[in-house]
Amino acid sequence: MSTISIKVNGKRIEAKEGEMLAVALFRAGYKKFRKSVNGEDRSLFCGMGVCFECLVNVNGKTVRSCITPVKEGMEVEFEES
């Protein structure tokens, strides 16, 4: 796998092309991706696309990060807590 660059909340991070986005985010130190309706932190839970705990926005579209492969030029946004 080759190393690529993606933008996360305005900052560039390195990722391995084709790996799942949640893995790249965790490796870069991001552990919390969103807040629940009750204000609790949410992150990777099932790791296989069944739940919706790892939702992030990629290029303006909401996706589950655990089943979204990383691609060069991705722009990822989520609420950091």
pLDDT of residue 81 exceeding 80, the answer is: no
Model pTM score: 0.90
User: With b meaning 16 or more CB within 10 Å and e meaning fewer, what string describes 56-79?
Assistant: bebeeeebbbbebebeeebebebe
User: What's the structural domain count of the chain?
Assistant: 1
Domain that holds residue 11: 3-77
CA distances 57 to 1, 2, 5, 34, Å, are 24, 23, 17, 10
Reported confidence tier of residue 80, pLDDT bands at 50, 70, 90 = confident
pLDDT above 90 for 79: no
Number of CB atoms found within 10 A of residue 2's CB: 8
- pLDDT tens digits for 13-60? 999 999 999 999 999 999 999 998 999 999 999 999 999 999 999 999
Angle CA 79–31–77, to nearest 5:
30
CATH number assigned to the domain comprising residue 26: 3.10.20.440
